[in-house]
Amino acid sequence: MSRFFQRKAYNREDANSWERLFGKLLTPVEAFTRNSSASGILLIVCTLAALAIANSPWRDAYFHLLHQPVAVSFGEWRLEMSLHHWVNDGLMALFFYLVGLEIKHEVMVGELSSLSQAVLPIIAALGGMVAPALVYGAINAGGVGAAGWGIPMATDIAFAIAVLILLGDRIPAGLVTILVALAIVDDLGAVVVIALFYTEAIQVVPLLAALGCFALQLALNRFGVRKPWPYLLVAIVMWALMLFSGVHATIAGVLGALATPVRSLYNPEEFSREARKLLDKFDIYRRREQDFLESERLVGVLHTLHHGINQAQTPLQRLEHGLHDPVYFLIIPLFAFFNAGVTVDAAAIGSLVSHPVSLGVAAGLLFGKFGGVFGAIWLSVRFGVARLPAGVNFRHICGMGMLAGIGFTMSIFISELAFKGEDLLLNNAKIAILVASVIASLTGFLWLRAGHNGDSHS
């Protein structure tokens, strides 16, 4: 009786299927942007679902779910928070951990690794943070909503990349690179703003203990510990201590990421040599034992090779790759569902053009972001401080400046910190974030699409 695993040779269809499989291997940037576009679509779906439920007969059940208490206890120690806070303070720490990994990766080997590469996105990000804050501050100076100046500062990378992917080959690859680097610097700026300006009264003892955990992670790195689990376990303890210290707990995620090792166990030459030895063994065994199911030696070679591949990657790469999908396809959509549910009625819509918080957020995202990003890049190129990538012109930068006004995730996150306990201000800020992000998406998309069509006709 023949078995599937005992076929002596692959037919042409099998070979073609393998070729198609390996042909789908993507470069890291391509994989990142495609995943980001998919997560952006999921983010939109969860946002619309939250808005629909919050304005339906089920809104009471929705808000009851948000405030449902959940406790974790260990002996006499007990930590109880609402489900909403577990998402914002707990799960979002993993998002900030991934942000920290991405920042470290970009600084080590990416677009921020050299001054010549980093100048343009850093200048653009600084302009895109300062200008929106100034616009918001000008509208809300001395008012009840003055604390919300940090809300329009950040760009939502998942949404922005999703819009760029919809444009396909109508835009140059260099524009995607600039936007990704800009958003990463934006995230770093948002982390600094949260740590410095949206921190409550600080408890010194838990904070010092949390910093001790960070020092322990640095020591693990220094002594060559490459397994990710010790770092993650220490990071969990550091998160809890940060929570009790008064510093926002998500900062623990960024600190943990900064301590993650960037060196692999093998260098490329060693890995190549050892992998070839294993493949030679595999070929020897394969001539005598062609069934994976029955050959322990073939499977043993595969397991050893798999372990070697993991060791050849740096812990930073493994964690960045392993966390990307859970964060962007589970945590961020959950955050959107738990935070985007705002009541939209005639009064809320009217506040968009009358309430200073709504006006400040919308104007900051739509005008401050665009003016800050475009103006900073134009000035830096005009005075020879930086230069545009090949294929990118100022029409592209103009469209990117519009897309930078998509605040969403980080803007909503900061609004929760700025207006804690101020339901009216928080609701106004969230509605303005949603409306401004939609307008920024549409204007940026239509501008870049129209610009490409104009080039095609010319």
Q: What is the pLDDT of residues 267-289, one digit of tens each?
A: 777 777 888 888 878 777 776 76
Query: What span, in angstroms and rounded, lies between the C-alpha atoms of 48 and 242?
Result: 33
User: Residue 182 burial by CB count (10 A; 0-12/13-18/19+): exposed, middle or buried?
Assistant: buried
Residues 19-75 pLDDT 10s = 454 455 555 555 555 555 677 778 888 989 999 999 999 999 999 999 999 988 877
Pick the residue with more confidence: 124 or 266? 124
Q: Residue range 406-411: average pLDDT? A: 89
Whose tokens are 């990003």? That residue is 373
- Which pLDDT does position 203 carry in this prediction? 87
C-alpha torsion angle, residues 229, 233, 235, 237 (rounded to 10): 180
At residue 2, the pLDDT reads 34
pLDDT over 90 percentage in the chain: 34
Higher pLDDT among residues 148 and 253, named by residue: 148
pLDDT class of 295 with cuts at 50, 70, 90 = low
Q: Using CA atoms, how far apart are residues 133 and 363, in angstroms rounded to an integer?
A: 10
Tally of CB atoms within 10 A around 394: 13
pLDDT tens across 66-112, in order? Answer: 999 998 887 777 888 899 989 988 898 898 898 888 888 888 877 77
- What's the average model confidence in pLDDT over 169-196? 85
Q: What are the backbone angles phi and psi of residue 81, rounded to the nearest 5°?
A: -145, 165
Rounded to whole angstroms, how far apart are CA atoms 458 and 449? 14
Answer yes or no: is pLDDT of 11 > 70: no
Most confident of 42-46, 142-146, 168-172: 142-146
d(CA 240, CA 89): 10
pLDDT digits (tens, 9 = 90+) for 206-231: 999 999 999 999 999 988 888 878 88
Lowest mean pLDDT among 134-148, 220-234, 283-297, 306-320: 283-297
Most confident stretch, 70-74, 242-246, 442-446: 442-446
How do the domains of the chain map onto residue ranges?
A: 27-264+313-457, 273-312
Q: What is the mean pLDDT of residues 280-308?
A: 73
pLDDT at 374 over 90: yes
Report the alpha-carbon distance of residue 80 to residue 70 in Å, rounded. 6
Look at residue 181 in the predicted model and tell me its pLDDT: 84
Residue range 109-119: average pLDDT?
Answer: 78
**Which pLDDT score is estimated for 277?**
82
Output the pLDDT for position 457. 44
From 22-26, 53-57, 194-198, 386-390, the region with the lowest mean pLDDT: 22-26
- The winner for highest mean pLDDT among 238-242, 277-281, 389-393 is 238-242
Calculate Rg over the CA atoms of the chain: 25
What are 80's strand-pairing partners?
71
Q: What average pLDDT does the chain have? A: 83
Q: What is the pLDDT of residue 292?
A: 61
Q: Shortest CA distance to 418 belongs to which of 72, 26, 140?
A: 140
Provide the CATH number for the domain formed by 27-264+313-457 in this structure: 1.20.1530.10
The structure's pTM equals 0.77
The bridge status of strand 69-74 relative to strand 77-82 is: antiparallel
